Structure 1
Amino acid sequence: MRITRVPEPALIRSFLITVTGVIAYLLGRQVDTGWVDSLTTLYGLIAPLIAGALIRPAVRPVVSGDDQGAA
């Protein structure tokens, strides 16, 4: 499966909360989810870099006819 979009921070946060809840249930313990907000903030800061890396292969410079003969 090829990833073509960067998930929104809210989707990442809900995924992390869900996974943490399932793990806590399986272990029979309560788990603090305060770390999720910090991780979501970091993800929100680096999401533009991830998006740029994902779209870079699809973006190609356009060469006009005038630029081809210049040397």
Structure 2
Amino acid sequence: MENNYITIYSRKLAGYLLLKGFKMEDFQKSHKDSERTIFYFYNSPELSRAKMEFDRLKNYKGSIVNI
């Protein structure tokens, strides 16, 4: 993928971004671990803010699942 995409390795973060309205550009299985999926989103300032929000919520709640 080109530099204008950001790689997301967390399913929870990818799901959170999708719920926030961000479009997933692509995904693929990891070459190192067939159980993992790699997600690609278009990199933008809004996406960076959403990632920071996710991290704050995760640290505050301990788990993003209950949000």
Q: TM-score, normalised by structure 1?
A: 0.30
Which structure: greater strand fraction? 2
Q: Which has the higher contact order (CA 8 A, sep 6+)?
A: 1
Which structure: greater helix fraction? 1
Q: TM-score, normalised by structure 2?
A: 0.32
The structure having more radius of gyration, on CA atoms, is: 1
